[in-house]
Copies of this chain bind each other. A is one copy, B any other.
Amino acid sequence: MGDNDLYAVADFCLIPIGTANTSVAEEIAECQRILAQSGLKYKVPGYGTNIEGPWSKVSQAIHDCHAAVHGKGAQRIATDIRIGTRIDRDIPTGEGNGLKVKRVEEILQKDEA
């Protein structure tokens, strides 16, 4: 990859399986600790966790979340990842997810005007 590593804007939702616990908050918190060390821009806005950066680093960060949550005892994990790339314009580093929301808000503000 190297120079060819696409910039990825992503969102993931990790679910531990077989934990005998209906709460997944501890596991999500553990992921946040891992992401804090990744150097990537991330945010937990609700259902999933927004994350963005070079594809290989985003993938590695989510892999490391799996490894950490396995380390906390979860024997099996299933994650859903939504990941997007584009070549029509540069995405300012760390601004991909935020810009999406901003553009939608700008359009809706015109409705009110």
Report chain B residues within 8 Å CB of A92.
Answer: none
Which B residue sits closest to A110, measured CB to CB?
Answer: B29
Which B residue sits closest to A6, measured CB to CB?
Answer: B66
**Given A18-B20, A25-B107, A97-B46, also A86-B82 (CB < 8 A):** no
Please state the number of chain copies in the assembly. 4
State the interface size on chain A (CB cutoff 8 A): 64
Question: Which A residues are closer than 8 A to B by beta carbons?
Answer: 1, 4-6, 9-11, 13, 15-26, 28-29, 32-33, 43-48, 50, 55-56, 59-60, 62-63, 66-67, 70, 75-88, 97-98, 100-101, 103-104, 106-108, 111
Report chain B residues within 8 Å CB of A106.
Answer: 25
Report chain B residues within 8 Å CB of A25.
Answer: 100, 103-104, 106-107
Report chain B residues within 8 Å CB of A80.
Answer: 13, 80-82
Which B residue sits closest to A22, measured CB to CB?
Answer: B18
